[in-house]
Amino acid sequence: MSTPPPATAYPGIAITLTLNGVRRELIVEPWVTLLDLLRERVDLTGAKKGCDHGQCGACTVLIDGVRINSCLTLAVMQDGRSITTIEGLANAEGLHPVQQAFIDHDALQCGYCTPGQICSAVGLLAEGHAHDRDQVRELMSGNICRCGAYPQIASAVGSCIDQAGQAAEDASARPGTVPA
């Protein structure tokens, strides 16, 4: 009877991600979720682990501008993609307009769901499908707030829709300009 060889660690797979605008080359095991990679390996802890089943939205991030539950995707599946987390939304000029709207409308309580709510709202606005607060409520229904700040969240996101609409109207009212 021979002794089996010692168990060795899986060597991992090389992937390249652009995380909040910074290109990163990483070695990851094939079973590691994007959420675990972000939180445990690259110390981007804004996305939260809530249910770990894609039901709460606390882990929402943007992949190539599209909102996704990072607990439901494997990191190796995102090779070559651009990932934006809550940490990557603000810039040198200040907060992202959605972040500012959440502050202005007091759209948070405990704050646990807030990063996922904000990333989801940014993705929702980019999709262009929400035109009023009722549509915001429907299209963000996958992001749960246990504190119940839904009216304030809908108002914050709705205000961003209103601002975008007003900017487009202002641009079209000026001769020789093209709405953004």
Choosing from 88, 109, 132, the residue where a domain stops is 88
Task: For residues 41 and 114, state if they share a domain.
Answer: no
Choosing from 72, 88, 104, the residue where a domain stops is 88
> Does the residue 1 lie in any domain?
no
- SS3 of the chain: CCCCCCCCCCCCEEEEEEECCEEEEEEECCCCEHHHHHHHHCCCCCCCCCCCCCCCCCCEEEECCEEEEHHHCEHHHHCCCEEECHHHCCECCECCHHHHHHHHCCCCCCCCCHHHHHHHHHHHHHHCCCCCHHHHHHHCCCCCCCCCCHHHHHHHHHHHHHHHHHHHHHHHHCCCCCCC
What CATH number is attached to the domain comprising 96?
1.10.150.120
> Does the residue 32 lie in any domain?
yes
Residues recorded for the chain = 180
Token pair for 98: 């959605």
136-154: average pLDDT: 95
Token pair for 66: 């599209």
Sheet of 13-19, strands arranged across: 22-28, 13-19, 82-84, 60-63, 66-69
What CATH number is attached to the domain comprising 23?
3.10.20.30
CB 171 within 8 A of CB 163: no
> Does the residue 23 lie in any domain?
yes
Task: For residues 34 and 74, state if they share a domain.
Answer: yes
pLDDT of residue 1: 60
Backbone angles phi, psi at 68, to 5 degrees: -150, 150
**Which pLDDT tens digit goes with each residue over 83-100?**
999 999 999 999 999 999
| Dist. CA 122–CA 157, nearest whole Å | 9
> Does the residue 4 lie in any domain?
no
| Dist. CA 122–CA 99, nearest whole Å | 9
Domain hosting residue 38, numbered range: 12-88
Choosing from 47, 64, 88, the residue where a domain stops is 88
**Which pLDDT tens digit goes with each residue over 25-74?**
999 999 999 999 999 999 999 999 999 999 999 999 999 999 999 999 99
For residue 146, name the pLDDT band (cuts at 50, 70, 90): very high
Q: State the total domains in the chain.
A: 2
pLDDT of residue 7: 56
